[in-house]
Amino acid sequence: MLNLAGVLRLVGSVVLSWMLLTTPETEVMVGPAGIGNDTRLIIHNYLKPRDSVTLVFDNLQKQIQSIQVSSYLDSPSDAVTVSAQFSQLPDGTHYVSTMAVNGTSKKLTVAMQNSDYQKM
């Protein structure tokens, strides 16, 4: 059984791998997101069989609105999901406003909310 630090290391290694790698089986689909002028980019089999990464772009603002990742650690029964929502400050700065990481089989959820930014 892994302790919390071990689980977080595993999740971190998978997240880093998502950012660095594609496989020959990778499939990409692009289409409307169904929300205003947004476009959805879905990447299947990005790192592992049956995983996916979904990015939603705001075409008018030319910014990412959200990212959804669905994958697993060592086996499909070790499911991991990551969800991030982006927001914009009055000065135009684009940032991750909320993020959630769920390790279903490990019964672990990490939620993050960024708020109360102030000009320095």
In a domain, 119, yes or no: no
pTM for the full predicted model:
0.73
Give the chain's domain count.
1
In a domain, 59, yes or no: yes
Question: pLDDT tens, position by position, for the chain (120 residues)?
Answer: 445 566 556 666 666 555 555 556 777 777 777 777 788 888 888 778 888 889 898 888 888 899 999 999 888 888 999 999 999 888 888 888 999 999 887 788 889 998 877 767
In a domain, 98, yes or no: yes
In a domain, 64, yes or no: yes
> Which candidate, 74, 31, 23, places its Cα nearest to that of 52?
23
The boundaries of the domain holding residue 46 are: 4-113
In a domain, 76, yes or no: yes
Type of residue found at 82: V
In a domain, 16, yes or no: yes
In a domain, 88, yes or no: yes
Q: Within a 10 A sphere around the Cβ of 83, how many other Cβ atoms?
A: 16
In a domain, 120, yes or no: no
DSSP state of 20: H
Encoding tokens for residue 58? 């705001």
Encoding tokens for residue 59? 């075409």
**Are the C-beta atoms of residues 65 and 86 closer than 8 Å to each other?**
yes
